[in-house]
Amino acid sequence: MERLNVICLGSLGCGKTSIITHMRDKRFGASKATMGVDYAMFQVGNVGVRCWDASGDPKFRRVTSVFVKDVDAVLYVYDVTSEDSLTEAEEWFYELKESHPTKIHVFVGNKCDLTDRYTTVPKILKEYPETMYFRVSAKSLSALTSLFRAVVNVAPPRREERRTQCCIIL
Ligand SMILES: Nc1nc2c(ncn2[C@@H]2O[C@H](COP(=O)(O)OP(=O)(O)OP(=O)(O)O)[C@@H](O)[C@H]2O)c(=O)[nH]1
Ligand SMILES: [Mg+2]
């Protein structure tokens, strides 16, 4: 089966875990603050997506950076009702975009159900107009499915066999 590794980054409470668990469990429910980096697996078409779920707590920033190295796509999630969360997502983007040019970088404005106002568009879209940008609500499975389908379509999926090419035996 084809595999794709993705990581969701973004500020505390912007909705990363809600997005990922809705994709996995097909329901929007309560979530606790993530400690460190968690993950979930789910299927998008015929691709198995392994989605790393990073805590938004800055104290886990260094450990999160380690996980970024091995993913195919980075989702920079922010809360559309919070300017601070947009700033934080943009900081992540500036830190990673140039150093990981072969990865897919996707900007995701979450919690669209909370506002029908035209909230700030990420300024990185002016500098990097080719960047994929989605506005979603973690409550809407169809919006999430469209997001992940688009990511799967542009990212060259890894084959399962590649995981056996390198191993460390302790
Ligand atoms: N209205 C609304 N609430 C949301 C949405 N997404 C998440 N939430 C709520 O926002 C709160 C935080 O969601 P989480 O998914 O735990 O956020 P997180 O980004 O994983 O947070 P950390 O793990 O602490 O970094 C929860 O109360 C969710 O129910 C959304 O799209 N709409
Ligand atoms: Mg979380």
pLDDT the model gives residue 161: 45
Domain membership of residue 142 (yes or no) is yes
User: Could you tell me the CATH number of the domain that includes residue 118?
Assistant: 3.40.50.300
Answer whether residue 164 is part of any domain.
no
Assess whether the C-beta atom of 15 lies below 6 angstroms from ligand 1: yes
Whether residue 165 lies inside any domain: the answer is: no
pLDDT value, residue 164: 46
- Residues 101 and 90: their CA atoms lie apart, in Å, by 16
What amino acid is encoded at 13 in this protein?
G
pLDDT in the model for residue 81: 92
**The two three-digit tokens of residue 39, written as one number:** 């993950």
Per residue in 59-115, pLDDT (tens digit) is 999 999 999 999 999 999 999 999 999 999 999 999 999 999 999 999 999 999 998
Q: Which of 144, 139, 67 is nearest to 108 (CA)?
A: 144
Looking at every residue in the chain, the average pLDDT score rounds to 90
Residue 21 parent element (H or E): helix 16-25
Q: How many domains does the chain have?
A: 1
- Find the angle CA(2)-CA(154)-CA(149) to the nearest 5 degrees: 70
Amino acid 165: pLDDT = 47
* Domain coverage including residue 64: 2-159
Ligand 1 neighbourhood includes 85 CB (under 6 angstroms): no
Confidence of residue 156 (pLDDT cuts 50, 70, 90): confident
- CA–centroid distance, 14 to ligand 1, in Å, is 5
Give the confidence band of 118 by pLDDT, cuts at 50, 70, 90: low
Q: What is the full DSSP assignment across 65-127? A: HHHHTT-SEEEEEEETT-HHHHHHHHHHHHHHHTT-TTSEEEEEEE-GGG--S-PPPPTHHHH
